[in-house]
Homo-oligomer: A and B are copies of this chain.
Amino acid sequence: MRKKEVLALLNEAKNHLLNELLPFWTKRMKDEKYGGFITHFDENGKDTGEDEKSLIAQARSVYTLSSAHRAGYGTGELAELAKWGVDFMLEKMWDRENGGFYWMLDRKGNVKEKKKILYGHCFAIYCLSEYSLATGDQRGIEYAEKIFDLIQIHCTDTRFGGYFEMFENDWTLCGPGPLGGDRKTLDVHMHLMEAFTTLYECSQKELHQRKLLEDIELLMSKMLHPEFKTGIPQFFANWEIAPQIKFDIIWGWDRFTEDGEKNNATDNTCYGHNAELAWLLNHALEILGENSEKYENVFKKIFDHTVDNGIDHTYGGVFVEGPHSGGVYDREKEFWQQAEVMIGTLDAWLHFKEEKYWNAYKNIHRFVFDKVINKKVGEWYPLLTRKGKPIWTHMSHSWKINYHTVRAMIQSINRLNKISDLL
């Protein structure tokens, strides 16, 4: 592993972030007419006109802009644009009667879906805390704390621990099954860790630290496979593993069978989530000032499972998912899994200094830069065949936005700098 090789990849990443990704967004996302952000772009970067403003896409955009500003990019315009997004969220998405954010508005700011969804509120806490850390504007942390309090009041399960996830407009718990009221997911509990980490980083409050630690312990003890330490996607309230089903409220375009079940619904783990969980955990421990030693075994098992099973040595990149014990079910390539495993494999190398993690990073980096990035416009294709041919070609919609792509570049650049310094 030569320094020159590291620097070459670093430069490629910097160039992509500064000259392609960030400009893609800054020149087309601002909705001058109705406020907030336009988040629907086709393969040519053209606004598709879809009449949606989702909590996820608005919040993730605020995160992206704030985090890029805090990382030192731009000359202030990213912070300005983040403020533009926060203004819209607080003025149009906030439910003044019940507290919390609506799930979906139209472009003008009219409410399309009032349900209160914990997944969306994770990103609201995450982005608003990052926004205050980046800009000093105290509205961010004020609302992040408000949401944290609402979550503690309405979502915790005081019987079995953890959080319920799907609520009606007034925070009444939704019904069971596809309504989601009887399930707990890895996805939400992992994004709570991410959100509480940045919340605590900003607030420094004992309460936020305590709830972050509780969530980490829960993830470790309940939501990972006891032997393989791979993530288990869905549970019933009592932590029995639940067969993975499609919920009525979605935040992605996951592939399910026609009856709403996953193939291999009870033995399924996702490489992108596993690597994301590991690096987010590592980051949480850093912010907490906790020793990561007791988690080394988890890091090693997760990173090895990801690298040993998830990497496509023939065509490059990361597969979607497979069984806990090893092997692959789904060999297509999703954009966000490439992004998260890039960061994860760099963390793995920094932790264990084993060449195989560096090779895995290089593999994915190459696949992303050669196949996933749509060079015409500078954003990533959302879904590709195993060989790297685009299947879905939109650059953005309510669930596919800038959070994974920009974060992967910012976080990879940080880590590549660290690695380069060590060589």
The digit string for A169-190, where 1 denotes a CB below 8 A from any CB of B, is 0011100000000000000000
For chain A, residues 155 to 207, give those with C-beta under 8 angstroms from any C-beta of chain B.
156-163, 171-173, 206-207
When distances are taken between beta carbons in the complex, the residues of chain B under 8 Å from A171 are 207
How many chain A residues have a CB neighbour from B under 8 Å? 23
- Contact residues in B for A207 (Cβ distance below 8 Å): 153-154, 171-172
User: Any chain B CB within 8 A of the CB of A321?
Assistant: no
A111 within 8 A of B: no
One of B149, B157, B211 near A149 (C-beta < 8 A): B149
> In angstroms, how far is the closest chain B Cβ from the Cβ of A230?
21
Q: Which residues of chain A in 139-163 are interfacial with respect to chain B, using CB atoms and an 8 Å cutoff?
A: 149, 152-154, 156-163
- Chain B residues, Cβ within 8 Å of A286: none
Q: Is A210 an interface residue (CB 8 A)?
A: yes
Residues of B within 8 A of A163 (CB): 158
Given known A-B contacts A152-B152, A171-B207, A206-B172, A214 and B157 have beta carbons under 8 A apart = yes
Q: Interface 1/0s, chain A 337-369, versus B by CB < 8 A? A: 000000000000000000000000000000000
A218 sits at the interface (CB 8 A) = yes
In the assembled complex, A217 has its CB within 8 A of some CB on chain B: yes
Q: Confirm or deny: A215 has a beta carbon within 8 angstroms of a beta carbon on chain B.
A: yes
A157 to B149, CA, bound (A): 14
Taking Cβ atoms with an 8 Å cutoff, the residues of A that contact B are 149, 152-154, 156-163, 171-173, 206-207, 210-211, 214-215, 217-218
9 closest residue pairs by CB, A with B: A159-B214, A152-B153, A158-B214, A161-B161, A172-B206, A159-B217, A156-B156, A149-B153, A159-B161
Extra 18 A-B pairs, beta carbons < 8 Å, given A156-B158, A157-B214, A158-B163 = A149-B149, A152-B152, A152-B154, A153-B207, A157-B158, A157-B161, A158-B211, A158-B214, A159-B161, A159-B214, A159-B215, A159-B217, A159-B218, A160-B161, A161-B161, A171-B207, A172-B206, A173-B210
